[in-house]
Amino acid sequence: MSADAPALATTPGLDAPTWPAEFAERYRAAGYWRGETFGGMLRERAAAHPDRTALIDPAPGRRTWTYRELDERADRLAAGFAARGIAKGDRVVVQLPNTGAFIEVVFALFRIGALPVFALPAHRETEIGYFCSFAEATAYVIPDTHGGFDHRALATKVKAATPSLRHVFVAGDPGEHTALSDVPCDPAGTPDGPEPHELAFLQLSGGTTGVPKLIPRTHDDYLYSVWGSNEICGVDAGTRFLVVLPAAHNFPMSSPGWLGVLYAGGTAVLCPGPDPATAFPLIERERITMTGLVPPLALVWTEAAAETRCDLSSLDVVLVGGAKYSQEAARRLAPALDCRLQQVFGMAEGLVNYTRLDDDPETVVTTQGRPISPDDEIRIVDDAGHEVEEGGFGHLLTRGPYTIRGYWRAPEHNATAFTEDGFYRTGDIVRRTATGHLVVEGRAKDQINRGGEKIAPEEVENIILAHPAVHDVCVVAVPDAYLGERTLAYVILRTGAEPLKSVALKRFVRARGIAAYKVPDLVEFVDAFPQTGIGKVSKKGLRSAAATTEQH
Ligand code: OOB
């Protein structure tokens, strides 16, 4: 262990390793950690410019919130949550689509210091059940229905199975649960909120193991990534940001996202769907200046821009990230949308890299940017952990003022996911250019990146293994022109088992209650898996077989 890295201790109340004191002092002294909280930030903005528009929820019937309204509504909701016994440090699983209710709920929880656990709208019983039980959540917040799915029925099941879960709050028709609209009350006497160094929320990791990990972010560290992103992306009070990707994901939340825009006093517009038919008319109507997209969506928008009759001329900056953006596609975006491109390579665990607005055009299309902070420490190492030579490929390790030092309640996993001196092993293979920009070359972690949506093969394998006809399974990525990667499940059936059709297996996986993006795109039945020298299943062998397999 190096001299500047004292042993990490788990701080009581944080349930995770945190920054050693001298790092925390350094980050404060450098002005990165400003001693703000999310709740306090909104309060200050509401005092400074109460009548500016903070939020627009276009559907249905276009609702707007001024900063004063958002602040007051968050206060009243916070008071109502507190009156129902939700207290500082409690975990609350929030699964809401891109609506004003999502932002109100999250700020209400921030204000009392309860920790939102950010589920995605696509999550189903497997994921939600796990988040609620692992986080020992006291409440779960849902829409009534979304995309044709009734979240109330799912909540009923999860509540019955989770002893800690006392409340289900529903935006819309509550059914047997509590209507979110019945919660707000007079804010007088709401308990004091959190301190800046305390936890603000738990974000989800993309995951490489059977169960997703929870990422503990503090007010201090996350707000640094927010205002740091604002400076790099030119966010100011005139910015009108369209939240296209699920608002609960780290990218549209803070890169620079809706939090960045609220920090700067601009306007966040919540987009109900990512398709050009939904988003383009909103760009025209709301004079959107900035948005963030994953690469497959950026491709669709690039194509659609040529055909559209909508006026997209307000659009100034489009951020693309979450998965590798091909150079060819990156080259076409700015001319097609008549905007500036910024690539972003980030992770919910912390480190975020951006190409800069004044980078030369070739750097913008060929690299994934450089870190937000001068104090983001980057190491690029070989398999043995030694630094590679300048410009060479290697494993990206990072440590810094907004990169976590450990997952929440996961000491065993933390022992391998972090080095002894606190560097996070990102699992990404990168090289660094002479200008300090990173180029993502691949991935060493066992994870599939399906157009920005991360899938842990083991999680899907565990579900498929529950099928009575399945003897063994291995889920791997196959290259895909549109999504970058799709999933392929290689399945060995039990001897004597009835033949199983691929559609039947997919139906089985879906019926177990899992996010639709995790259902294997392709299923192939095989007699055996390739083995490594010591008799383990060779995922590498399967991946290269998959890459050459006829697609079906
Ligand atoms: C973002 O966050 P996560 O936590 O969903 O996923 C992080 C992982 C990275 O470790 C990397 O494997 C991959 O997603 N990734 C990229 C990428 N951006 C993320 N791979 C290649 N090129 C890129 N530009 O995905 C995320 C968080 C904040 C901002 C943007 C993305």
Reading the block at residue 45, the tokens are 């903005």
pLDDT of residue 106: 98
62 C-alpha vs ligand 1 centroid, how far in Å?
A: 32
If one residue of 347, 363, 453, 483 were mutated to test the ligand 1 pocket, choosing by the most ligand atoms within 8 A of its CB, it would be: 347
Q: Is the beta carbon of 345 within 6 A of some atom in ligand 1?
A: yes
Greatest mean pLDDT among 4-8, 56-60, 461-465 lies in 461-465
The interaxial angle of helices 502-511 and 457-465, nearest 10 deg, is 100
Identify the residue whose C-alpha is closest to ligand 1 atom 25. Answer: 322
Residues in the chain: 552
Cβ partners under 8 Å of residue 480, min gap 6: 486
Atom of ligand 1 nearest to the CA of 321: 24
Give the C-alpha distances (Å, rounded to integers) separating 337 from 97, 276, 314, 331.
26, 12, 10, 11
Atom of ligand 1 nearest to the CA of 447: 12
Report the alpha-carbon distance of residue 518 to residue 509 in Å, rounded: 9
For residue 552, name the pLDDT band (cuts at 50, 70, 90). very low
CB contact at 8 A, 217 and 139? no
- For the purposes of burial, counting CB atoms within 10 Å of the CB of 240, is it exposed (0-12), middle (13-18) or buried (19 or more)? buried
CA triple 230-253-17, angle to 5 deg: 95
pLDDT of residue 535: 72
CB contact at 8 A, 16 and 418? no
pLDDT of residue 372: 98
pLDDT of residue 549: 59
CA atoms within 13 A on the CB side of 362: 2
3-class secondary-structure state, position 366:
helix
With a cut of 80, say whether residue 442 has pLDDT above it.
yes
For residue 551, name the pLDDT band (cuts at 50, 70, 90). very low
pLDDT of residue 6: 41
pLDDT of residue 4: 43
Q: Is the beta carbon of 15 within 6 A of some atom in ligand 1?
A: no
pLDDT of residue 139: 98
pLDDT of residue 3: 40
pLDDT in tens, 317-352: 999 999 999 999 999 999 999 999 999 999 999 999
CB contact at 8 A, 227 and 253? no
pLDDT in tens, 245-259: 999 999 999 999 999
**Strand boundaries in 67-121, DSSP class E:** 91-94, 115-118
Q: For the chain, give the mean pLDDT.
A: 94
Q: Is the beta carbon of 322 within 6 A of some atom in ligand 1?
A: yes
With a cut of 60, say whether residue 237 has pLDDT above it.
yes
Q: Where are the domains of the chain?
A: 447-546
CATH assignment, 447-546:
3.30.300.30
Closest CA to 59 of 243, 223, 191: 243
Q: Is the beta carbon of 347 within 6 A of some atom in ligand 1?
A: yes
With a cut of 70, say whether residue 8 has pLDDT above it.
no
With a cut of 50, say whether residue 2 has pLDDT above it.
no
Q: Is the beta carbon of 368 within 6 A of some atom in ligand 1?
A: yes
Report the alpha-carbon distance of residue 128 to residue 384 in Å, rounded: 38
350-354: strand order across its sheet = 63-66, 53-57, 267-270, 240-243, 290-293, 317-321, 340-347, 350-354, 370-371
